[in-house]
């Protein structure tokens, strides 16, 4: 249960939110002290804040699974010291980080809210101030029993709170940069913040634990009209593949090229899981719906249901990292672990 004043750790990892424009006209990350100096309201929020920063703030395009582990371990080592965590992060790969953290932070019972912005905080029309202040308010929000209202990994951006493994960046231009096509918002911020409590996960009661292991050797093969055996078969047969994600069309259909089916079947026979994620973000993979999809189901390709690529990829890395293979991998991949797919 939280005390009367929430203690929140802000971790600045980088991103546009804290960038400045240099002589070359490009945006470069700058220091956390600078960022915070633009939001004097932080002092009167009624929460106890502490802040820390990556030594070298990153454009999130440079985020790696190693950085996800750093964030997860930081939350682990400070788990009992704070009521909630707010991670400032670039928007480009924020959905990958939030998805990965949702799997790595096991038995989470506290809010972990990621946010960022489309314009740097120093720019007059920036969305950064609102995103940070509302994220902090959400992180500090409590229910009738005094427990956290949002005890899960979530992303706050432009008036909406998203489940961390249910969103995708869809615009590099609009302030509303993200969408969650297959799951409702957890909250919407207007004059007041409206929490959609039936969509928010309950706090876990087990012992909080970080599961840091990730297997990154996951191949990605995008289907397109004109894809050729010469380019694709070597990619499928690469002995480094520990899993392969096939980015299919529509409800999980793909070109029925004999070479594609045979190469994938050989991979599956070797014990390497092949996962079907649709290029359509909204909706779900249902391979049996069309002959063009069913042939892939018949050779043992695993459908990703309504998981987005970000969730399916990081879940695959996580499950392989846990040492799961064969039927155990398939069962865990199909299961709803952290709200990433619809039952
Ligand atoms: N390139 C930036 C990043 O992801 C974009 C942003 O922060 O919105 O770090």
Query: Would you kindly state where each structural domain of the chain is located, as residue ranges?
Result: 7-210, 218-334
Q: Give the pLDDT confidence score for residue 1 in this predicted structure.
A: 45
Place of tokens 């990994």: 153
Q: Is the pLDDT of residue 337 over 60?
A: yes
Q: Give the pLDDT confidence score for residue 30 in this predicted structure.
A: 66
Quick one: pLDDT band at residue 34, thresholds 50, 70, 90?
Answer: confident
Ligand 1 centroid vs 140 CA: distance in angstroms? Answer: 25
Least confident of 44-58, 66-80, 290-304: 44-58
Q: Give the pLDDT confidence score for residue 115 in this predicted structure.
A: 98
The ligand 1 atom at the shortest distance from the C-alpha of residue 14 is 9
The ligand 1 atom at the shortest distance from the C-alpha of residue 19 is 7
Pocket-testing residue among 13, 15, 56, 177, ligand 1, by greatest number of atoms within 8 A of Cβ: 15
Q: Is the pLDDT of residue 66 over 70?
A: yes
Query: Mapping DSSP to helix (H, G, I), strand (E, B) and coil, where does residue 56 land?
Result: strand
Contact assessment for residue 272 and residue 300, using Cβ atoms and an 8 Å cutoff? no
Contact assessment for residue 92 and residue 59, using Cβ atoms and an 8 Å cutoff? yes
Q: Which residues are paired to 85 by β-bridges? A: 9, 112
Q: Give me the percent of the chain exceeding a pLDDT of 70.
A: 98
Pocket lining: 116 vs ligand 1, CB cutoff 6 Å: yes
- CATH 3.40.50.40 for domain 218-334, yes or no, is yes
Q: Which residues are paired to 154 by β-bridges? A: 113, 163
Strand order in the sheet with 218-222: 218-222, 243-248, 274-278, 302-303
Nearest alpha carbon to residue 310 among 47, 110, 103? 103
Quick one: pLDDT band at residue 4, thresholds 50, 70, 90?
Answer: confident
Question: What predicted TM-score, i.e. pTM, was given to this entire model?
Answer: 0.96
Ligand 1 centroid vs 219 CA: distance in angstroms? Answer: 24
Nearest CA to ligand 1 atom 7: 90
Across the chain, what does the average pLDDT equal? 95
Q: Is the pLDDT of residue 135 over 80?
A: yes
196: tokens are 């959609």
**What string of H, E and C letters represents the secondary structure of 99-116?**
HHHHHHEECCCCCEEEEC
Ligand 1 centroid vs 59 CA: distance in angstroms? Answer: 6
Contact assessment for residue 248 and residue 277, using Cβ atoms and an 8 Å cutoff? yes
Report the DSSP pairing between strands 209-210 and 168-169. Answer: unpaired
Region 85-103: what's the mean pLDDT? 97
Alpha helices in the chain (DSSP H): 32-37, 65-77, 94-104, 128-140, 229-237, 258-269, 291-298, 309-321, 326-334
Q: Is the pLDDT of residue 305 over 60?
A: yes
Q: Give the pLDDT confidence score for residue 3 in this predicted structure.
A: 53
CA distances from 65 to 68, 134, 243, 274 (A): 5, 27, 16, 21
Quick one: pLDDT band at residue 37, thresholds 50, 70, 90?
Answer: confident
The ligand 1 atom at the shortest distance from the C-alpha of residue 16 is 7
Region 17-43: what's the mean pLDDT? 77
Nearest CA to ligand 1 atom 1: 59
Q: Residues 6 or more apart from 100 whose CB is under 8 A from it? A: 65, 68, 214, 314, 317, 318
Q: Give the pLDDT confidence score for residue 292 in this predicted structure.
A: 94
Ligand 1 centroid vs 90 CA: distance in angstroms? Answer: 4
Ligand 1 centroid vs 97 CA: distance in angstroms? Answer: 13
Quick one: pLDDT band at residue 123, thresholds 50, 70, 90?
Answer: confident
The CA distance from 230 to 228, in Å, is: 5
Region 320-326: what's the mean pLDDT? 97
Catalytic residue flag (residue 16): yes
Place of tokens 């939350």: 75
Q: Give the pLDDT confidence score for residue 41 in this predicted structure.
A: 87
Contact assessment for residue 104 and residue 318, using Cβ atoms and an 8 Å cutoff? yes
Region 137-160: what's the mean pLDDT? 97
pLDDT top residue among 217 and 33: 217
Q: Residues 6 or more apart from 305 whose CB is under 8 A from it? A: 284, 285, 334, 341, 342
pLDDT tens figures, 189-219: 999 999 999 999 999 999 999 999 999 999 9
Q: Do domains 7-210 and 218-334 have the same CATH topology?
A: yes
Pocket lining: 13 vs ligand 1, CB cutoff 6 Å: no
Pocket-testing residue among 91, 93, 122, ligand 1, by greatest number of atoms within 8 A of Cβ: 91
Of 16, 93, 115, 314, catalytic = 16
Q: Is the pLDDT of residue 299 over 60?
A: yes
Query: Mapping DSSP to helix (H, G, I), strand (E, B) and coil, where does residue 118 land?
Result: coil
Place of tokens 């634990």: 209
Ligand 1 centroid vs 313 CA: distance in angstroms? Answer: 20
Pocket lining: 158 vs ligand 1, CB cutoff 6 Å: no
pLDDT top residue among 232 and 122: 232
pLDDT tens figures, 248-292: 999 999 999 999 999 999 999 999 999 999 999 999 999 999 999
> Looking at the domain covering 7-210, what would its CATH class be?
alpha beta
Region 158-185: what's the mean pLDDT? 97
């Amino acid at each position: 249960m939280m005390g009367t004043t929430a203690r929140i750790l802000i971790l600045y990892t980088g991103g546009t939110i804290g960038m400045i424009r240099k002589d070359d006209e490009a945006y470069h990350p700058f220091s956390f002290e600078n960022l915070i100096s633009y939001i004097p309201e932080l002092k009167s929020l009624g929460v106890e804040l502490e802040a820390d920063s990556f030594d070298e703030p990153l454009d999130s395009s440079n985020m790696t699974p190693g950085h996800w582990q750093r964030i997860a371990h930081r939350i682990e080592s400070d788990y009992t010291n704070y009521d909630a965590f707010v991670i400032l992060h670039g928007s480009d790969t924020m959905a990958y980080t939030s998805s990965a953290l949702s799997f790595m932070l096991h038995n989470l019972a506290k809010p972990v809210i990621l946010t960022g912005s489309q314009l740097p905080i120093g720019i007059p029309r920036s969305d950064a101030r609102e995103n940070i202040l509302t994220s902090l308010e959400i992180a500090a929000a409590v229910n009738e029993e005094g427990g956290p209202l949002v005890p899960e990994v979530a992303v706050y951006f432009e008036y909406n709170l998203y489940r961390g493994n249910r969103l995708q960046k869809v615009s590099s231009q609009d302030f509303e940069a993200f969408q969650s096509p297959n799951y409702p918002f957890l909250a919407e911020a207007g004059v007041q913040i409206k929490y959609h409590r039936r969509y928010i996960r309950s706090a876990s009661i087990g012992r909080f634990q970080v599961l840091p292991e990730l297997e990154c050797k996951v191949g990605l093969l995008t289907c397109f009209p004109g894809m050729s055996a010469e380019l694709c078969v070597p990619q499928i047969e690469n002995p480094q593949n520990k899993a392969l994600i096939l980015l299919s069309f529509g409800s999980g259909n793909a070109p029925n090229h004999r070479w594609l089916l045979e190469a994938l079947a050989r991979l599956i026979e070797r014990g390497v899981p092949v996962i079907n994620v649709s290029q359509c973000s909204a909706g779900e993979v249902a391979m049996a719906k069309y002959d063009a999809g069913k042939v892939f189901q018949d050779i043992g390709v695993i459908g990703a249901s309504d998981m987005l690529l970000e969730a399916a990829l990081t879940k695959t890395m996580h499950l392989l990292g846990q040492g799961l293979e064969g039927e155990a991998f398939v069962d865990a991949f199909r299961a709803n672990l952290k709200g990433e797919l619809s039952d």
